[in-house]
Each structure stands twice: as C-alpha cells, then as structure tokens.
Amino acid sequence: MMNQLELNDYKQAIADLYNRRSQTYDESEWHLQICLNLLKYSQTSVGQRILDIGTGTGHLAIAAAQIVGDEGRVIGVDICAGMLEQARRKAKVLGLNHVEFQLADAEALNYPTNSFDQILCANTFPWIEDKEVALRRWYQFLKPGGFIGIHTPAQTAYVGYVVLRKVFERYGVILEPSNRIGSVETCHNLFANAGFEVVEITTEQHGGYISLDKAKATWEGIVVHPLPRQSENLLSQLSSQQLLQAKAEFEAELEALQSKLLIWDDLTTLYILGRKPERSILQSS
Ligand SMILES: C[S@@+](CC[C@H](N)C(=O)[O-])C[C@H]1O[C@@H](n2cnc3c(N)ncnc32)[C@H](O)[C@@H]1O
C-alpha cells in the first residue's frame, strides 16, 4: 500500500523502517506486553473513547477495543501504512467494528477538542520529534479529567546508547539517538509544561544480559546507518580521525563492562500517567 502522507525525511525513514518490519513485527511478545501494561496502569474502562498514538499493528488499540466494548470507540493512528494493514486485518478477524485505524502523523492530528477519555502511546514516544508541542496538541483532544498514558524507555536504558552518548559527550557532541525523555524529573516537567497533572510514574526493569557484539552493534545503527537527522550533527562535528578514536573508546568501555562474556543491558521503562485537569488553565484562556 502507498503511503499517502506528506512526511519529512525523518518521518519517512521511520515509516519505511516499519513498513519493512510490519510482516514480522508481531513475532515478538515484547511490544504487546508493554501495551497491556500501559492499559493496566491507565485503568481503561467500558464505554471510553481512546486514541492510540503510533498504533503500529494495533496491539494496544485492539486490546483497548476489547475493554471499552461496543459502547466505546478506539482510534489508532500511525504514519506507516504497512503496520496499519496488519492492524486492520487483525481487527477484522476479531470482528471489532468500533476500532478504526487512520494513516496520520501524530504530530499533525486535528480532532475536535475534548474528543477522548484517554490518549495512550506505547513504544512510540521516543520517535515524536517535538514532544512538548505534540503533548500540547494532544491535550486539546482530551476531555477534562481525561488521562494521557505514555510509555518510554528511561535515559539509563540500552547500554550501547548510554556508553555511546558518554563517549560523544567527551568530544563535545550531544548525542540522543533514541530521542527519549529519560528521567522521572524530565517527564514531570514535560507533562506539566503541556498542562497535565502527573498522576503517577511507574518504573519497571526489563533488562537482561546481552553479548558484547550486540552492544557494539549500536555503533553501526547510530553512527553508520542512522535515520535522517539523527546523526547530522554528529558526522559534521567530528573528523574521520576523531570518529575512529571515538569508536575505539566506545568499544573499550563496553569491553570493560563485560563479565563472563556478557553485558548487563538496562531497560528501565517508564509509564507516565497524566490527567487533564477538570478546570484547565489552557481551556479557559
Ligand atoms: C515500535 S512501534 C509501536 C507500535 C505499537 N504502539 C506497539 O506498541 O506495538 C512504533 C510505531 O510508531 C509509529 N510512528 C512513529 N512516529 C509516528 C508519528 N509521528 N505519528 C504516528 N505514528 C508514528 C511507527 O510508524 C510505528 O508503527
């Protein structure tokens, strides 16, 4: 299926990436589990109207549709046509008529104000380019008293990224490959700045031990084959000699972390639950 959205090069690269993954995406249980956790923390209930941001193959949207029932409604949006195709196919098999999948950029949505009881976003928030602007936009779509639930990996997650970030900082380069929001404190500030009350931030650890080679492969993904915009700064700020040296330092630091041929790969995961106040300042102004 053609992607009919006008996307910038960064978002087009994301859509292409997930188009390539769409056929096999559901083979892993990981994403589904995160979606079910987010639904549990968000206390989604019968009759609600839910917006699923970056719905992918519809893990969260479909589970939400089963919870809200026929009296509720779920909309899942995504920029990737291939992922949505899978989501629509699954909803059809299950006979779910109250879930709809829309090809749309989550940062350019345009629903009437106060449309949804909950806006949920699993495994997608790190991709959002301007998080503060996006949150303000989503705030408008949420009913007063409605909940926003967002899942994101913490700043400490993924040992390859953590070490890479530290090495590049020594060269004066700020590297944020996964563009994640990181700490509990930054989550609080981000949400509060968009007008939400932070209800709860739940932290889970999903880490495990990985091989040195897997950790080292982060260099390939971020430095050698980055998505557009992710490494423009990086590559323009460092000479090829500096890059070689940075790579050697990166690998040496990972090797130092190795124990019994394995490395601990932290995967601290945050579930942030916010609420749009009943009487919102943004609404009355
Ligand atoms: C890791 S998948 C998560 C899918 C689903 N939420 C899940 O947990 O299984 C990330 C999804 O976000 C989508 N995405 C990334 N940026 C987006 C944007 N700006 N608007 C809508 N979808 C976006 C991608 O196309 C992809 O399908």
Q: Where are the alpha helices (DSSP H) in the chain?
A: 9-21, 30-42, 59-68, 81-93, 131-141, 159-170, 184-193, 212-219, 232-237, 240-257, 281-284
The fraction of the chain above a pLDDT of 90, given in percent, is 77
Which amino acid residue places its CA nearest to atom 11 of ligand 1? 54
Distance 5 CA to ligand 1 centre (A): 14
- Write out pLDDT tens, residues 48-91: 999 999 999 999 999 999 999 999 999 999 999 999 999 999 99
- Kindly state if the Cβ of 121 falls inside 6 Å of ligand 1: no
- Considering the entire predicted model, what is its pTM? 0.91
Measured from the Cβ of residue 252, the count of other Cβ atoms closer than 10 Å reads: 11
Longest C-alpha distance within the chain, in Å?
Answer: 62
What letter does residue 222 receive in the DSSP assignment?
I
What atom of ligand 1 comes closest to residue 105's alpha carbon?
20
Distance 275 CA to ligand 1 centre (A): 22
pLDDT bin (cut points 50, 70, 90) of residue 172 is: confident
Distance 1 CA to ligand 1 centre (A): 17
* Residue tagged 């590559």 (tokens): 235
Distance CA 174, CA 234 (A): 8
Distance 161 CA to ligand 1 centre (A): 20
The pLDDT value recorded for residue 284 is: 45
- Write out pLDDT tens, residues 113-162: 999 999 999 999 989 999 999 999 999 999 999 999 999 999 899 999 99
* Residue tagged 């519809």 (tokens): 58
> In the CATH scheme, what is the code of domain 9-155+179-208+266-279?
3.40.50.150
- Taking a C-beta distance cutoff of 8 angstroms, is the pair 270, 155 a contact? no
